[in-house]
A and B are shown apart, each in its own frame.
Chain A
């Protein structure tokens, strides 16, 4: 569960990214975050995985007040949050398997357990047989699947996806959406920022629209709502 209470975020250069955002995202929700570029979607997500801290207000994720978290504790909170990016952010020199296993090595799991679970998620995301490839040898869609596999390997309760289909063609994007729905079905909360009208309007979910750093719309089965 994610809860924000009157969150303000002002960056060092004076930009007001968020202005008094209050929202509650329940367990197992699937939320689309929509809005124009620069509206504050990315900041909203960065607050969830604690890359940024709010200037004012309280944010809790899974019951942790993560605005007040000691730096030492941050890694442990992040292990329960899977992050997926538009640009995939894979470790370029590591194979598919190594990239995915890394997230589990971090929690100091035994090698055998890692091996079993990594192969499981590789199969789940549809990359069976590609575990020895390097990211550079994969297509964009395949790289995003690696990122998703890495995000879910530790069974996180929250998945944060910042425009996960932004760099992919429509067909590949639908493959990724099916995967995210499957993960949501298995119990994870999903927060996904997107500009993809077709996906939002077809695969109906809760829609939170942000403009100018404030929530302007929050519908349970919403639509994309923007013309372009």
Chain B
């Protein structure tokens, strides 16, 4: 193919969008609507997953120490646990702090239930609160902490607790939530693919007579196919770009709103910058691909004249 022919194909591809105005509009709308719905669910699923991670990250290990544990052993434990690769943070909670914490956690009942207790008869042991980087390692870390205790001759640890059983259930729930998100997104992608390629097919069926005429005049298949290819790629690219733009604009507004109205709530949305790139690449990639794919496949069908 000569270069000037290539330029001709580009020109024709652009002109065809204008020549078939309503059909182009139908394709753009179909891509916009399908990808918009897909995008909304992608954002939803990302945020649900983000929320699940936030919940997961709140799991922690409580290490209760023996009442008679000596300070050297406590310091050693503090050091050893703090040095574990999976451990993000370790805080020492003295028995006084523990009592205060319990009191505030119990709320109104706290004053009544813990009325008789003060620093002289505090029944609580000293403890550590351990946070891990990766919530799913929590059982493992708890085991390692127990092992430390067994290795230490003074056995300074009374008990290690991390919500055994409950934590595993929580992970199961978040796993299900994430899987549902992924399945929804994949399902919607497939639906979008069918919707878009069908619309493009329809616009080309509309032009099969033109394809036949071109063949009679002596156009090669490639010559006929190129402008359709350019047309499909341009329509796919620009309509998905518009979709991504609209979604991201909406999302940024949503973030602003939740910051003002739900400032006190525990819900935070996935950061705009984390979403923008992924969403744009996914939608524009899918849109352009479908534009090209839909038009190429459909033209091929009518080239056999």
The interface of chain A, by Cβ under 8 A from chain B, is 49, 51, 75-79, 83, 89-94, 102-103, 105-108, 110-111, 150, 154
CB of B205 to closest CB in A, whole Å = 15
Q: Is the interface of B mostly helix, strand, loop or mixed?
A: helix
- Minimum CB distance partner of B220 in chain A: A75
B282 contacts the other chain (CB 8 A): no
Number of interface residues of B (CB under 8 A): 21
Instruction: Kindly count the residue-residue contacts between A and B in the assembled complex, taking CB atoms under 8 Å apart.
Output: 54
Chain B residues, CB < 8 A from A106: 214, 217-220, 223
B113 at the interface (CB under 8 A from A): no
Extra contacts besides A51-B305, A78-B215 (20): CB < 8 Å: A51-B216, A75-B223, A76-B218, A78-B218, A83-B216, A89-B209, A91-B214, A92-B210, A93-B19, A93-B20, A94-B19, A102-B214, A105-B8, A106-B214, A106-B217, A106-B218, A107-B218, A108-B5, A110-B4, A150-B217
Closest 10 CB pairs of A and B: A79-B218, A78-B218, A93-B19, A106-B219, A75-B220, A103-B217, A75-B218, A89-B213, A108-B5, A108-B2
Contact of B216 among A89, A94, A107, A111 (CB under 8 A): A89
Shortest CB-to-CB span from B304 to chain A, Å, is: 9
Chain B interface residues toward A at CB < 8 A: 1-2, 4-5, 8, 16, 19-20, 209-210, 213-221, 223, 305
Complexed CA–CA distance, A106 and B213 (Å) = 12
> Is A90 touching B20 in the complex (CB atoms < 8 A)?
no
How far, in whole Å, are A107 and B214 apart by their CA atoms in the complex?
A: 12
Assembly CA distance A105 to B227 (angstroms): 13
Q: List 6 A-B contacts (CB under 8 A).
A: A93-B19, A102-B219, A103-B217, A105-B5, A106-B217, A106-B219
Contact A103 B218 (CB under 8 A): yes
Question: A211: shortest Cβ distance to chain B, in Å?
Answer: 27
In the complex formed, the residue of A with least CB distance to B213 is A89
CB distance from A62 to the nearest CB of B (A): 13
In the complex, the answer to whether B2 meets A102 with C-beta atoms within 8 Å is: no
User: Are B217 and A102 in contact, CB atoms less than 8 angstroms apart?
Assistant: yes
Of all chain B residues, which has the CB nearest A77?
B218
The answer, among B16, B20, B216, for a CB contact under 8 Å with A78, is B216
Contact of B219 among A75, A92, A154 (CB under 8 A): A75
Does the CB pair B20–A75 fall under 8 Å? Answer: no
